[in-house]
Amino acid sequence: MQTDYLNYPLDIINARLPGYKGLQRVVVNATGLITRISPMSKVRGDIGSRSIDVYSSWISLGGVDLQINGALGLPFTDVQKQDINKIKEICQLLWNQGVDAFLPTIVTTSVKKIHQALEVFTEVRSLQEQETNTAKILGVHLEGPFLNPGKRGAHPQKYLLPLTIEQVKQVLGDYQDIVQMITLAPELDTTGAIIPYLRSMGIKVSVGHSLATAEEANLAWRQGASLVTHAFNAMSPLHHRQPGLLTSAITNPQIYCGLIADGEHVAPLMIKLLLAASDYEDGVFLVSDALAPLGLEDGVYPWGQQKMEVKQGTARLADGTLVGTTLPLLTGVRNLVKWKICPLEQAIALATIATRKAIYRNSLEERKPHAYLDQPASCMVRWTNTLEEGVRWSRLFSPNPSFLSLGSIKNLGN
Residue 237 DSSP one-character state: P
pLDDT at residue 362 in the model: 59
Query: Residue 279 in contact with residue 254, Cβ under 8 Å?
Result: no
Does residue 289 carry a catalytic annotation?
yes
The 10s digit of each residue's pLDDT in 345-391 is: 999 999 999 999 999 875 544 444 457 999 999 999 999 999 888 99
DSSP lists the bridge partners of residue 247 as none
Instruction: Kindly give the pairing relationship between strand 10-15 and strand 24-28.
Output: antiparallel
Taking the CA of residue 117 as centre, how many other CA atoms within 13 Å lie in the half-sphere pointing to its CB?
Answer: 27
Instruction: Tell me, yes or no, if the two domains 3-60+372-406 and 63-364 fold the same way.
Output: no
CA–CA dist 248, 370 (Å, integer)? 25
Of the given ranges (46-50, 100-104, 154-158), which has the lowest mean pLDDT? Answer: 46-50
Length of the chain: 414
**Three-state SS for 372?**
coil
Taking the C-alpha atoms of 85, 403, 14 and 337 in order, what is their torsion angle to the nearest 10 degrees?
-100
Q: Which residues contact 325 (CB under 8 A, 6 or more apart)?
A: 260, 262, 264, 265, 288, 289, 290, 291, 313, 314, 315
Interval 254-259 mean pLDDT: 97
> Catalytic pick from 262, 289, 298, 374?
289
For 63-364, give the CATH class. Answer: alpha beta
Query: Helices 111-127 and 165-172: crossing angle, nearest 10°?
Result: 50
pLDDT at residue 201 in the model: 96
How many Cβ atoms sit within 10 Å of the Cβ of residue 125? 18
Correct CATH for 3-60+372-406 of 2.30.40.10, 1.10.600.10, 1.10.579.10, 3.10.20.520? 2.30.40.10
The 10s digit of each residue's pLDDT in 56-102 is: 999 999 999 999 999 999 999 999 999 999 999 999 999 999 999 99
Query: Helices 331-338 and 344-364: crossing angle, nearest 10°?
Result: 130
pLDDT at residue 402 in the model: 43
Amino acid identity at 173: G
Domain ranges in the chain? 3-60+372-406, 63-364
CA–CA dist 138, 356 (Å, integer)? 11
Q: Which residues contact 217 (CB under 8 A, 6 or more apart)?
A: 186, 207, 244, 245, 248, 249
- pTM summary value: 0.93
The 10s digit of each residue's pLDDT in 169-219 is: 999 999 999 999 999 999 999 999 999 999 999 999 999 999 999 999 999
- Res. 153 pLDDT band, cuts 50 70 90: confident
Question: CA torsion sign, 122 to 105 to 335 to 91?
Answer: positive
CA–CA dist 260, 289 (Å, integer)? 7
Taking the CA of residue 185 as centre, how many other CA atoms within 13 Å lie in the half-sphere pointing to its CB?
Answer: 26
